[in-house]
Amino acid sequence: MTQGSAPILSVRDLVVEAVGASGPVRIVDGVSFDVHAGEVFGIVGESGSGKSITMLAVMGLLSGRTRLAGGEVKLRGRSLTDMSREELRRVRGKQVSMIFQDPMTSLNPVLRIGNQIAEILEIHQPELTRAAIRDRVIELLGLVGVPNPERRTRQYPHEFSGGMRQRAMIAMAIANNPDILIADEPTTALDVTIQAQVMELLLAVRTRNQAAMILITHDLGLVAETADRVAVMYGGRLMEEGPAEGIFSRPAHPYTVGLMASRPRLDAAPEFLYSIPGQPPSVANRPPGCVFNPRCALQNGREICATTVPSLDRVGVEHSTACHFSREIDGWIGKVNAGGGNTMQETP
Amino acid sequence: MSTAAADKTVPARHRVAWLRKGLNIVTQSYSMMLAAALLAAVLLLIIIVPLLPGYDPYTQNLAVSLAAPFENIDGRTYIFGTDTLGRDLLSRAALAGRVSLLIGLSAVIISLAVGVFLGLVAGFFRGFVESVVMGLADLQLSIPRVLLLIAVAAIVGPSVVNLTVLLGLTSWVVYGRVARAMALSLREREFVLSAVTQGASATWNIRKHLLPNVLPQMLIVGSFELGQIIVFEASLSYLGLGIQPPLPSWGMMISEGQQYLEIDPWIALLPGIAIFMLVTGVQILSQAFTSESQFELATPPKGT
Q: Looking at residue A1, what is its pLDDT?
A: 43
d(CA B18, CA B16): 5
Q: What is the ipTM of this complex?
A: 0.73
HSE-up of residue A258 (Cα within 13 Å, Cβ side): 26
Burial of B152 per CB tally in 10 Å (0-12, 13-18, 19+): middle
What confidence category does residue B135 fall into, taking pLDDT thresholds of 50, 70 and 90? very high
Q: Are A322 and A312 in contact (CB under 8 A)?
A: yes
What is the SS3 assignment for A96? strand
Per cent of chain B over pLDDT 90 is: 13
- Measured between beta carbons, which residues in chain A are less than 8 angstroms from residue B298? none
Q: Looking at residue A337, what is its pLDDT?
A: 60
In angstroms, how far is CA B224 from the centroid of its own chain?
7
Residues of chain A with a CB closer than 8 angstroms to some CB in chain B? 59, 61, 89-94, 97-98, 100, 102, 105-111, 119-120, 123-124, 157-162, 164-165, 169, 172-173
Q: Looking at residue B3, what is its pLDDT?
A: 43
What is the nearest CA distance from B22 to chain A, expressed in angstroms? 19
**Which is nearest to A72 in space by CA: A32, A39, A19, A17?**
A32
Which one-letter DSSP state was computed for residue A154? Answer: T
Enumerate the domain spans of chain B: 24-55+68-298
Nearest CB to B198 within list A97, A102, A111? A97
The per-residue pLDDT for range B67-113, each reduced to its tens digit, is 777 777 776 777 777 777 778 888 888 888 888 888 989 999 999 99
d(CA B234, CA B151): 16
Strands of chain A (E only): list them: 9-20, 23-35, 40-45, 66-75, 78-79, 96-99, 180-184, 212-217, 229-234, 237-243, 273-274, 313-316, 319-321, 346-347
Predicted confidence (pLDDT) at residue A123 exceeds the cutoff of 70: yes
* Per-residue buried b or exposed e for B178-188, using 16+ beta carbons within 10 Å of the residue's own CB: bbbebbeebbe
Whether the CB of B202 is below 8 Å from some CB of chain A: the reply is no
Burial of B285 per CB tally in 10 Å (0-12, 13-18, 19+): buried
What confidence category does residue A335 fall into, taking pLDDT thresholds of 50, 70 and 90? low
What confidence category does residue B4 fall into, taking pLDDT thresholds of 50, 70 and 90? very low
Give the gyration radius of chain A's Cα atoms: 21
**Which is nearest to B140 in space by CA: B118, B108, B164, B109?**
B118
What confidence category does residue B298 fall into, taking pLDDT thresholds of 50, 70 and 90? very low
**Which is nearest to A347 in space by CA: A264, A274, A259, A265?**
A274
Contact A98 B194 (CB under 8 A): yes
Q: For residue B297, what is the nearest residue in chain A, using CA coordinates?
A: A109
Q: Looking at residue A233, what is its pLDDT?
A: 92
Read off the pTM: 0.73
What is the SS3 assignment for B247? coil
Contact B212 A110 (CB under 8 A): yes
Q: Looking at residue A2, what is its pLDDT?
A: 45
Predicted confidence (pLDDT) at residue A4 exceeds the cutoff of 60: no
HSE-up of residue B238 (Cα within 13 Å, Cβ side): 17
Q: Looking at residue B220, what is its pLDDT?
A: 81
Provide the mean pLDDT of chain B: 80
Nearest CB to B196 within list A61, A94, A102? A61
Domains of chain A: 9-232 (3.40.50.300), 250-347 (no CATH)
Q: Please name the fold of domain B24-55+68-298.
A: MetI-like fold (1.10.3720)
